[in-house]
């Protein structure tokens, strides 16, 4: 149980285009989902926290107009990287908290590798 999926698993896009990444909780409802970014050989950095039906809360230094987050339902959150540039290339990981579970336990998706050419 507590499976989180991400789609796509990898994507290549051209500079200036936008790309959408989906994060789904497959067998549970998630009140809160988190989006992280992981650079090679580095740690995960929290980008934003999203709650169903509410605006996302972005961490300091994260451009909310560039990284659009939509948490439209209790099982789906999307991250759209707008006008992507090569420096946006990274591994993006989402996590989710079970609505009826431990609020301090996050379940992570497998990640999406974005390459901007």
Partner 1 sequence: AQSVTQLDSQVPVFEEAPVELRCNYSSSVSVYLFWYVQYPNQGLQLLLKYLSGSTLVKGINGFEAEFNKSQTSFHLRKPSVHISDTAEYFCAVSQRGFQKLVFGTGTRLLVSP
Q: Binding partner 1 by CB under 8 A: which of 11, 46, 68, 76?
A: 46
Which structure tokens are listed for 16? 């200036």
How many residues line the site for partner 1 (CB under 8 A)? 23
The closest of 110, 114, 61, 106 to 87, measured between CA atoms, is 114
Q: If DSSP codes are grouped into helix, strand and coil, which group holds residue 51?
A: strand
109 contributes a contact to partner 1 by CB under 8 A: yes
74 contributes a contact to partner 1 by CB under 8 A: no
Return the residues of window 25-44 that contact partner 1 according to CB under 8 A: 32, 34, 41-44
CA 61 to chain CA centroid, Å, is 16
Among the residue ranges 13-21, 69-77, 78-86, 92-100, the one whose residues contact partner 1 (CB under 8 A): 92-100
Which structure tokens are listed for 46? 């929290």
Name which of 32 and 75 has its Cβ closer to partner 1: 32
108 contributes a contact to partner 1 by CB under 8 A: yes
Q: If DSSP codes are grouped into helix, strand and coil, which group holds residue 5?
A: strand
Cis, bond preceding 8 (omega within 30 deg of 0): yes
13 contributes a contact to partner 1 by CB under 8 A: no
């Amino acid at each position: 149980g507590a499976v989180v999926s991400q789609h796509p698993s990898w994507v290549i896009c051209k500079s200036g285009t936008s790309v959408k990444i989906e994060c789904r909780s497959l067998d549970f409802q998630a009140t809160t989902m988190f989006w992280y970014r992981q650079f090679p050989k580095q740690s995960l950095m929290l980008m934003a926290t999203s709650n169903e039906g509410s605006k996302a809360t972005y961490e300091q230094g994260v451009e909310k107009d560039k990284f659009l987050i939509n948490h439209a339902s209790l099982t789906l959150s999307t991250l759209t990287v707008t006008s992507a540039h090569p420096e946006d290339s990274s591994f993006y990981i989402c996590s989710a908290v079970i609505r009826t579970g431990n609020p301090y336990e996050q379940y992570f998706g497998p990640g999406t590798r974005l390459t901007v050419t």
